[in-house]
Amino acid sequence: MLLHTFCRWQNCFLIRCHISIFVHSVHRAAHLLFDHYVRFVQPSLYHLFVTLYCQIDAPSKVIDSRKYGLLFSAMSHPPPSPSHILRGHIAQVNALWFSDDNERLYSGDAAGAIVITSTRTLRPLAAWNAHTDGILGVQELEDRVITSTRQGQQAAPAPGLQTPTLCYSMDVNALNYCRFSLLALSETARTDECRALIALPNLVDSSVADVWTLPSMQRLHAAIGKTGQRPSSPNERNALGIIMSMHLFEAAHPHIVGQIQLRLLCGYENGSVSMWAYTRRDKETSVEGIGWDSLWSVKLHVETIMAMTVSRDNSFALTVSADHLVGRYDIQAAGNQAAVQIACTVHRTKHPGNGSIAIRDDGKVCAIGGWDGKIRLYSTKTMKSLGTLDYHKKSCQVLAFARSEQHSMAARDDTDSDDEMGSEEKAERCRWLASGSQDHRVAIWTLINFGKT
């Protein structure tokens, strides 16, 4: 009898200990439960947790809404859905671009089709088969549209028509997947023969780049990067591999006040990123990469760089790859190879397999598209997760943020007095994020401001 009573008391003691441990664990995990709930936990299990907490810890108390308000808010609001879905393509969407005034959204697919969609009516303004091969990039330049493909042509049709006319085309290297980089020149630097510069992989060697003038289609610089990539033997393949992504821009000259310097940021097949600068002042043109010096080179990825994007003010760049890493490159701080280890950092995520990335105009938020179809938002300063957008069932191939309200107002033509779109609608449109996927669809998301990120 005594032994039986002792056993019952011991079992009761163990149960009380387990309950006490569970209660203390609840306090510790309550603040982390929101993120865990959004990703993993079902609402039914969450209700069970809250009920059990109320019964064990404070059956006569009311849960503090300030402490647990986020949890109940997450239960009452489902995950966000796209504001609009565009179904104008019959193949996977590879390219997206918002016009500077946010009035048009350009999209290109793997079948070579280009669609120009009005952001007011969400109806196509023009649609045509620009190429017979998959589109790599599309971008607006003044009254023209620049499109590129692996087909080996660079075309510039005029928008605003149902059947745009081809203005000019040029041959490009078809043995790569690198999108062009377009640099519109300032008003003072423009001429009739040169209104913009365009960077492309070299016609023969995809591991080096060329810079051409538009609309004259004259090659200004040839084989950028060749001087720093000499194999030890003629039959040996370049260690960097082909160029996967590039960005052409102008920066203040580091030694001469009031002068600018042409630079090219390249992401390579081996996972490295290099910054090239044209340092010669006696010649405006170059061949065989002469005059282009490597300012710095760093390798943050273990896999091939799949996408690279640069902030609008050219202050930093981000890269993604098949691995779970996000590379961040402080362009202004990485002035030379000695400072690159501090200026270039890698951030580890829990999601491998990323194929697209974009930065918002203010440089505070970035979006990363995964092979699982999900779009993950991060703060570019801390790389803290800001949320996940889930709609596409296949890989997210491309992302594009709408232009900021300040930039779109500067580019907008206000001569039309019959503007049916209000200021609130225009401000909401500036928060758009467009995503293109292998499911042939373009999703448009209306994001929040995110406040201080």
Q: How many residues does the chain have?
A: 453
Does the pTM of the predicted model rise above 0.75? Answer: yes
For residue 168, what pLDDT is reported? 86
For 61, the enclosing helix (H) or strand (E) is none
Quote the pLDDT of residue 106: 97
d(C-alpha 138, C-alpha 146), whole Å: 6
Q: Please state, in angstroms and rounded to a whole number, the distance separating the CA atoms of residues 377 and 351.
A: 12
pLDDT one-digit tens code per residue, 152-161: 555 555 565 5
> Once rounded to an integer, what is the mean pLDDT over residues 265-285?
95
Q: What is the CATH number of domain 84-409+421-446?
A: 2.130.10.10
Lowest-pLDDT range of 69-73, 319-323, 326-330, 421-425:
69-73
Residue 412's pLDDT band (cuts 50, 70, 90): low
What does the pLDDT look like over 343-402, one tens digit per residue? 999 999 999 999 999 999 999 999 999 999 999 999 999 999 999 999 999 999 999 999
The pLDDT score that the predictor gives to residue 162 is 67
Instruction: List, edge to edge, every strand of the sheet that includes 354-359.
Output: 354-359, 365-370, 374-379, 385-390
Tokens (6 digits) for 86: 């565009």
- Judging by beta carbons within 10 Å of its beta carbon (0-12, 13-18, 19+), is residue 138 exposed, middle or buried? buried
**pLDDT over 90 (residue 336):** no
**Domain span(s) for CATH 2.130.10.10 in the chain:** 84-409+421-446
Q: Which residue has the higher pLDDT, 408 or 415?
A: 408
pLDDT at 20 over 50: no
Q: How would residue 250 be classed by pLDDT, with cut points 50, 70 and 90?
A: very high
Least confident of 16-30, 191-205, 264-278: 16-30
DSSP state of 306: E
